[in-house]
Amino acid sequence: MFHTFQVAEPLTRLPIHLLAQTYDFYTFDKLLEFKLQGRHIERVIEYRVEGMKQNGIRVPQDCETLADAVKLAHDSHEHPQKYVDQDNNHRHLNKIVVGEGEHQIDTYSLQIFSAMNIVGVASQAKEKIVVVGGIEFKRGIQGNCHLQNLTLRQANECGVWGKSSFTMDDVLVEQCGYYGVWANGTGVVGRCTNVEVRKCGQSGVLASRGASITLIGAKTTVHHNCTKGYSDDYGLAVYGASSTIQLVFPLTKEQVSLDNGGGGNWGADTSYGGDINQIKTINE
């Protein structure tokens, strides 16, 4: 809970939605720096936290960078006592709303340790909301991680690396150094709806070590990947005897995976026990 302070009477009487508007151009970190200035700042902080819980952490309005927003969301899970309302209910921050523009990831990947949704603002097309870098969902996350309405571009390694289960909807992944979308590990399930993966250095979509990826939606396409030319990379690839890529009818691998280099449009690395029949169309 936040401490209380005595302040000038007029500020305490302002309706909170009007008071909050006067501070809306400050990020959440900046608001915390103002905290000791009086009860009116305490009210604004409380209002902002509740807004982030209900509507998501806005980038760049609440946090200047996507990495800062992820850090804030993680903090609300790791230190829930810092994010409680007046009734002492925890306010976990599980959603990040990314605005128009390029959002640079300064490390090899943005590492996610707790379940959260990262979505582009609904009023803009995904091509205008660009994350430059990759996103990695770390092992052991309880709950689902979700990406929606954005572009992931030019990751040094993988565009999306799922070591825990994840979903994607209306996402473009392009020009990544390694794999476009990679699900890795027993029990990891990736569900990709209307996702496009293109021009990545190695396999476009890869399931390995017992993971499963399901491809859904008429706009789903995997094309012009494997630009490094490695023969064991494919548009759609499975490594390991229990790994699968499933295409939900009416999608077929012939329809989805086109013009990929390397070993071709689909395949299995037999040295890991994979089989081409692990890539198939299913009814759902």
User: 6: pLDDT confidence band, cut at 50, 70 and 90?
Assistant: very low
pLDDT at 275 exceeding the cut of 50: yes
pLDDT over threshold 80, residue 34: no
Evaluate if residue 261 carries a pLDDT over 60.
yes
Residue 24, C-beta contacts closer than 8 angstroms, at least 6 positions apart = 61
Structure tokens at 13: 């009487």
Give the phi and the psi of residue 119 in degrees, each rounded to 5.
Answer: -130, 145
**Beta partners for 162?**
137, 183
Q: How does pLDDT run across 50-77, given as a tens digit for each residue? A: 899 999 999 999 999 999 999 999 998 8
pLDDT the model gives residue 272: 74
3-state secondary structure of 61: coil
Cα–chain center distance at 189: 15
Give the list of residues 6+ apart from residue 94 with CB closer than 8 angstroms, or none: 73, 114, 115, 116, 117
CA distance 273 to 243: 9
Mean pLDDT score of the chain, rounded to an integer?
90
pLDDT value for 123: 95
Residue-wise pLDDT tens digits, 220-246:
999 999 999 999 999 999 999 999 999
For residue 16, the 8-state DSSP code is H
Name every residue whose Cβ is closer than 8 Å to that of residue 162 and which is 6 or more positions away in sequence: 137, 145, 181, 182, 183, 184, 188, 190, 211
pLDDT on residue 10: 52
Sign of the torsion formed by the C-alpha atoms of 159, 147, 113 and 81: positive
Mean pLDDT of 85-112: 87
For residue 12, the model assigns a pLDDT of 55
pLDDT number for residue 92? 82
- Are 94 and 119 a contacting pair, CB within 8 Å? no
User: Cα 217 to the chain's mean position, in Å?
Assistant: 19
The tens digit of pLDDT for each residue in 184-228 reads 999 999 999 999 999 999 999 999 999 999 999 999 999 999 999
In this structure, are residues 186 and 165 in contact, taking their beta carbons and an 8 Å threshold?
no
Question: In the predicted model, is pLDDT for residue 9 greater than 60?
Answer: no
Hey, what amino acid is at 135?
Answer: I
What confidence score (pLDDT) does residue 20 get?
A: 66
Q: Give CA–CA dist 29/207, Å, rounded.
A: 39
